[in-house]
Amino acid sequence: GLHIEMRSSTMFGSSTNYAAARLLGASRDDPVMIKARRFIKDNGGAVGVPPWGKFWLSVLGCYDWDGFNSVFPEIWLFPELVPFHPSRWWCHCRMVYLPMAYCYANRIVGKITDLVSELREELYAEPYHEINWKNHRDSLAKCDEYTDSNWLLKSLFLLANTYERCVIPYFRKRASDFILEYVRAEDKQTNSIDIGPVNKAMNALVIWHADGPDSKSFEAHVDRLWDYLWLAEDGLKMQGYNGSQLWDTTFGVMAILETENLNPVEFSDCIRKAYHYMDITQSEADVPQRHRFYRHISKGGWPFSTKDHGWPIADTTAHALEAVLLSHKSGIIRNEISNSRLFDAVNILLSYQNKDGGWATYENTRGGEWLEMLNPSAVFDKIMIDYSYTELSSSVVQALQCFTKMYPNHRTEEIRLSVRRGVDLIKSQQRDDGSW
């Protein structure tokens, strides 16, 4: 399946895990591999793997790039005014599409080893060299269908695939160069952790191709792979983020300091340590060249996990601000986090508010919901733009209210209007049965 709790098998999960297991030394004659291979071939073979699977198998050399719909790297050269420019997409989607476009532009393929040749035989229901790859650009196994294709996406793929027949080298190189610059910027801004594990792995591929496997930049990527790996009783896994350290810390602090009939002094050492972590994790400056790389302001925000990761998030910032304010109010710590830094946190929270009155995750909602029609993943939904969420909006409203009680004269009217709009959005999202 797509993840460890998924009950139904998919071509995406089966083919990529099969390839990974073989690369890690599993024998093709292992009973588990025989069973997986039977499922893959019974469902038409890996030609029906979704786009992300096509990507990874192409890089490995077990799928042909001709069977991949154009990622059209030149879109990064379009002016930002274009309504479907990548800068308008949700940042996680944007940061995955970025290195994917570089790999596609340069047709990156690893060494064709004996094992890769064996995988070419094992993953398909017909001989590898007889497959008409172009006919399988849109092929998708029935078990992987989640979102429907549509006329707009099909039309754009038709145009982009037609362009691939007569690519203009000048524009392809310019696009590839900008993408590489952008990847390097993301690596630098996040200390090679990157926003998530998917673009982390893809960025590493880009750097491996551009700088070589022995370069310091690629070694930096290898060093930070451990941020995503965790060993459990059933084996080694890669998690969906590099942790939730700051998030968990803020909830712990609030749980202690908001508990009635509990003496905070008994937890003074715990609160001091947690406060120190919140102190050192806050972003105190915007990332360099943020406009060039479509970044929202960072100053004053808190990331979900660590300072090294560095991407601030609205509700994480809200919870951290509230936890810091409660810590100050408790009187058991020295106020190391200055008023100016608290004001910066309020500023970024106010800047995050969307036109509908709510708050999204990392950035404002930059595009219309119609952009979901351009979602090429086939296995994910609601990924093209950042949306206003009830939980996020509630967190920010509560933090702003907490701040106003302690700093009633700071941007009072702005905060009052912001809170009112936020509450209106939350009310509008309530279901008929009273739930959210």
Separation CA 348–CA 342 (nearest Å): 10
- Count CB atoms within 10 A of the CB of residue 329: 13
Cα–Cα nearest to 99, from 195, 9, 227: 195
* CB-based contacts of 360, cutoff 8 Å, min separation 6: 314, 352, 354, 386, 387, 388, 389, 392
Cα–Cα nearest to 227, from 213, 218, 236, 239: 239
Separation CA 283–CA 180 (nearest Å): 25
Provide the 8-state DSSP code for 147: S
CB-based burial label for 338 (10 Å; 0-12, 13-18, 19+): exposed
CB-based burial label for 288 (10 Å; 0-12, 13-18, 19+): exposed
Separation CA 195–CA 240 (nearest Å): 10
* CB-based contacts of 215, cutoff 8 Å, min separation 6: 207
User: Is 356 one of the annotated active-site residues of the chain?
Assistant: no
Q: Can you read off the two tokens belonging to residue 402? A: 């907490």
Whole-number Cα distances in Å, 341 to 269, 333, 406, 413: 23, 17, 15, 20
Torsion (CA) 71, 74, 79, 85 in degrees, nearest 10: 0
Torsion (CA) 240, 242, 245, 248 in degrees, nearest 10: 0
Separation CA 379–CA 52 (nearest Å): 9
Provide the 8-state DSSP code for 235: E
Characterize the bridge pairing of strands 229-232 and 235-238: antiparallel
Scored b (16 or more CB within 10 A) or e, 170-209 reads eebeebbebbbebbbbbbebbbbbbbbbbbbbbbbbbbbb
Q: Looking at 144, 194, 315, 344, which residue is catalytic? A: 315
Separation CA 374–CA 32 (nearest Å): 37
Residues labelled as active-site residues: 315
